[in-house]
Structure 1
Amino acid sequence: MNNAGSAVGLAGPATAGRPEEPAASGPLKDLLVLDLSRILSGPFATMTLADLGADVIKIEQPGSGDDTRQWGPPFQGDDAAYFLSVNRNKKSLAVDLKSPDGLAAVRQLARKADIVVENFRPGTAERLGLGYEELSKSNPGLIYASISGYGQTGPDAHRPGYDAIAQARSGIMSVTGEHDGPPVRVGVSSSDLIAGTWAVIGILAALHERQRSGRGQWVDISLLDGSVSWLTYVAGGYFAGGGVPQRYGSAHPTIAPYQAFPTADGFVMIAVGNDGLWRRFAVALGREGLADDARFATNPLRLAHRAELVAIIEEILGTARTDEWVARLDEAGVPVGPIQTVDQALSDPQIVARGMVAEVDHPAAGKLKTIACPVRLTRTPASVRTSPPVLGQHSDEVLDQLGFSTSQIKELHEAGAVQ
């Protein structure tokens, strides 16, 4: 718990007339997070903290809220499915940061917070009086995480950051897509999600250090940095003199066969990662002779003759259905999986058995399905406790627990400072 102020009061029971929310039991249950972020990178980070038990207060603009509430269709209730996907387990305080009274309320909340997360363009939080230097004066134990397109330093720090631009500049798009096709953006907003994940890692590292020093610090995360970090072995090959990495579609640049292949009714992903698996694979295909073919005996040789190898495998795999090949290759011990559509993936027995699809009750949308937290902890598990909040759903509750009187809260509403 932050030594600058207890957040226990903010995690207390709901206000009168509202059902009490399930208590958090995760490893971060004694932490208070002030969430100044919106769209995807920040909300994904704060949702992860919330899943792990933290009490997350999401600050939103009255009237409109987080931009993604309107990013539809599809909508569920009054909000877009996009917003609902990354804002569960949070409380919504709708407050106008341009209002002196509203801003004062947020600053009061920041004095009690363990963690602040924001993804404004660099300099914006400072202009609002909500930057790290200002907030840490009254809360020296504060962990303050900023997520931006290019980070807080460097010649492009001032530029607005977007997922697609980070994917483009990082080199990721240059190695994504078919060899003879144009660069392709990853099908999900990977740069945003990578940055959100790194933000959580940075926050947890800073919290651990705070146990020793008692002091907080500023966590500076950029979409571009995070995406560059994912180049790993691709960059390693370039550094080693392997030339500028190219696009290989679903294939691997240094392993073969390791890619998607068409079957009689769909596609299957096959990963033959060593020469032993290659021999098993050849037998499972019913072509034992391939294992001893001089062109394909080792991985370097298979890479050198990749085009010939792929043509042979495609011809064979096209003779049977995906499920037949999956069963045959599974039996042979060859890594294989069907290429599933999203609906197929979300009903996959393994994914269902792992509890990766959860359901909560939403006040406007009814039963709401969501993707669960993938972190598995045996004693203090992550959990999906509450639905994404309706805009301003917890404004009165949070203000009450901050010490505002009923008349003060009424005045804030009448002034339009809160919703």
Structure 2
Amino acid sequence: MEFDLSWILLGVPIVFALGWFASRLDLRQLRIENRQAPKAYFKGLNYLLNEQQDQAIDAFIEAVQRDPDTSELHFALGNLFRRRGEYERAVRVHEHLLSRADLGKSDRERAQHALAQDFLKAGLIDRAEDALRKLAGTRYQPQAWLTLLSLYERSRDWPQAADIARSLQQAGEGDFTARLAHYQCELAAAALAKKNDPAAARRLLEDALQATPDAARPRIQLAGLLAAQDDLRGAFEQLALVERHAPQAMPLVASELVRIGQATGQLARTAELLRRSYAATPSIDVADAIVQADLAAGMPPAQAREGYVRHMAQEPSLIAATRWLGHEPFAREGAHPVVQRSLEHAARPLARYRCAACGFEAQGYFWQCPGCQAWESFPPKRIEEL
């Protein structure tokens, strides 16, 4: 049987035509899918702008299914999951991105940063710490280190916090000298409370003072440590230096200065320091300490307690009025206790301290706000004086 070449000549155009037709079908399908993908994307965006997050998530999932290689859609979807509190799904999205071999360096860093945020929001602190440390050397490094610093402060891991603070300072991200001094003060307090090691605590406080001679906290803590070791003269000298190096902190040490000044026979010097401080910055705590010093020096009570009246003439104060009334003899003894209790009740909220950063209020003074974790955000003044 002879092979007819005419069939080959006839078949070639047919095969070419079928191939061309198939390619046109593929191109048409691709165009349809490309039109549908951005349509789903814009639909999701519209839902997002209208705060319809459930519908936005569905639209973005549809867009991702149609165009699985688009990283921006994955980022949008992951962020939506995190905002919705669906942290496990957000983690899966960002881990999927990181597993892609074709992901560019910039998008890989972005996905790593998003994954760290997922872990933080989910409360998975160990995994968040690991994810944040992987951002070293990237454009997200400063932000990651600041987040790590906050984590270590909240967990009271002061050595780790100090390491990160030094790294940030070396990278030119700010001056962390004062914060490092606070870390040393925290470590000194721990050395006393947990290890009963006053020598180590003293070394830490002296190092903090050497680095930040105008800081109030290490000097005040060192004075407390010296007083606990019966070195009252050393404690007095440290408290007296507060007036020169950190005058704004005098209200915090005024009462203790009187107590130690009396014990060391330095009441006259104490009163002089307090009056000088009060003249520069009037304060109810310093005024109260002046009254205590005058009484301890033997001044007649009626004369000494006029200090409250002088303070009220300069700075109207319910706290000062309460303390004056608590010492002043009254003829009508029956009414005095009732009036005194009422004034004390009214003055109690005014005697608190308030954080200037978040408004947290406390009866005692904090170097770090328990509410917002800011350092030295409590002015050393009572609410009444703000």
Task: Pick the structure with more strand per residue.
Answer: 1
Relative contact order: is structure 1 or structure 2 higher (C-alpha 8 Å, sep ≥ 6)?
Answer: 1
TM over 0.5, shorter chain? no
Rg larger in 1 or in 2?
2
Which TM class, normalised by the smaller chain length? under 0.3
TM-score for both structures, normalised by structure 1: 0.24
